[in-house]
Amino acid sequence: MEFFIEYGMFLAKVATMVVAIAIVIGIIASSGNRGKKSGKKGSIRVTQVNDHIEEMRDSLREGVLEPEELKLLDKVEKKQHKAELKARKAQLKKEAKSTDQDSADKTEPERKKRVYVLGFKGNVSADAVESLREEITAILSLATPQDEVILNLESPGGMVHSYGLASSQLLRIKNQKIPLTICVDRVAASGGYMMACLADRLVAAPFAIIGSIGVLVQLPNFHRVLKKNDVDYEIISAGEFKRTLTTFGEITQKGKDKVQEDVETIHDIFKKWVKDHRPSVDIDKIATGETWVAMQAKERYMVDDIRTSDECILSACESADVFEVEFEL
């Protein structure tokens, strides 16, 4: 009898566990469906760079300074922090009083400058533009002309239309009159420079690669291989220049001439783009497809200053609240 009782209790426990697991799975599935229905693409992650730098500084201090020095520094910084809080409270009271004024008399409340730091690491198809557009949309919902955007840019270039879209995203910042600083630590060439030249201030590390203002079309052609092996390759199209150069079709002089014409047209547009946004350059001398290290590029007015992105960000932290903004899927 005891055996049956214990066995029944065991079955009851198992049944309870099965029901509990089913409920948990149902909740997870329901949450997943709600997430899909909401259509949420991703989220914005914000990191205050000032705090990160202070944490690293504090860690170094603890390992290097004597306890008496640490105590003295801590006392001084607490006093300074208290004074800043007092000043901020006074400013908030002033802003609260200003809300009673007519809207025509209102001015933008005074506050500390904010600097938003973005990153763009480009490949041939400029895939990073998908995150960049979300980050810029978020920033433009809050930033004002008293703020600044710093973009850490690294790209050897790629497809014209892809980098055209990426450049257009940066134009959104400029259209809102928000200062744009672009930092190049390694390379901004071709489409990368198409983006970089939009900066109000273009900064590059001494040996960063800058330039390559040119256009390139290249593809292998296997027509003679197919012909040698009696393999036919047919293209049916409408429009004289719907297809010019292809991988398997016969290359004709007429097709080559058309592609050359298209390449030169795009190059002219590229040159005009650079000249419009960096009027100080001698466009005919720099639009040769060549690249230069940043120190040489500065002599050609292609960059404004020789500095690393680290120097720019540290400098910004001295007078502004600096935030790194990243879009995460």
Q: Enumerate the active-site residues.
A: 190, 242
Residues constituting the chain: 329
Q: Give the chain's end-to-end CA distance (angstroms, integer).
A: 59
The C-alpha R_g of the chain, in whole angstroms, comes to 30
**CA–CA separation, 324 vs 178, rounded Å?**
16
Nearest CA-CA partner of 202 in 126, 86, 302? 302
Q: Which two tokens stand for residue 52?
A: 């990160």
Q: What is the dihedral of CA 265, 269, 274, 277, to 10 degrees?
A: 170
Nearest CA-CA partner of 128 in 98, 154, 146, 103? 154
Q: Are 302 and 211 in contact (CB under 8 A)?
A: yes
For β-strands 114-121 and 209-211, DSSP reports them as unpaired
Collapsing DSSP to helix, strand or coil, 19 comes out as helix
**CA–CA separation, 328 vs 264, rounded Å?**
39
Nearest CA-CA partner of 144 in 179, 99, 172, 117? 179
For residue 163, the tally of other CB atoms under 10 A from its CB is 24
Q: Are 147 and 178 in contact (CB under 8 A)?
A: yes
Q: Are 162 and 126 in contact (CB under 8 A)?
A: yes
**CA–CA separation, 115 vs 138, rounded Å?**
13
